[in-house]
Amino acid sequence: MKSGGMNGKTAKLLNRYALKKGTKVDDLKKQWLSLNAGERFSRRQEMLKELKGGK
């Protein structure tokens, strides 16, 4: 099982989210890597919803 890192899809999502929000990608990545699997799943859903204009 992979521990720590992130896949390409996640990296692209974080980059797109950072651009939209005007935040640093490095900060998002640090925050992302501190989350457990369940928290990452929830956070991914929130980010996708925001990027699609859901919020």
What pLDDT, in 10s, does the model give residues 5-39?
A: 789 999 999 999 999 999 999 999 999 999 999 99
Contact 32, 40 (CB under 8 A): yes
Residue 54 has what pLDDT? Answer: 66
Q: Is 4 domain-assigned?
A: no
Roughly how many angstroms between the first and final C-alpha of the chain, as a whole number? Answer: 34
Q: Is 20 domain-assigned?
A: yes
Per-residue pLDDT, averaged over 30-54, amounts to 94
Residue 1 has what pLDDT? Answer: 39
Q: Is 39 domain-assigned?
A: yes
Contact 41, 13 (CB under 8 A): no
- Specify the number of domains making up the chain: 1
Q: Is 26 domain-assigned?
A: yes
Contact 51, 20 (CB under 8 A): yes
Q: Is 3 domain-assigned?
A: no
As given in the structure block, the two tokens for residue 11 are 């990296």
Q: Is 2 domain-assigned?
A: no
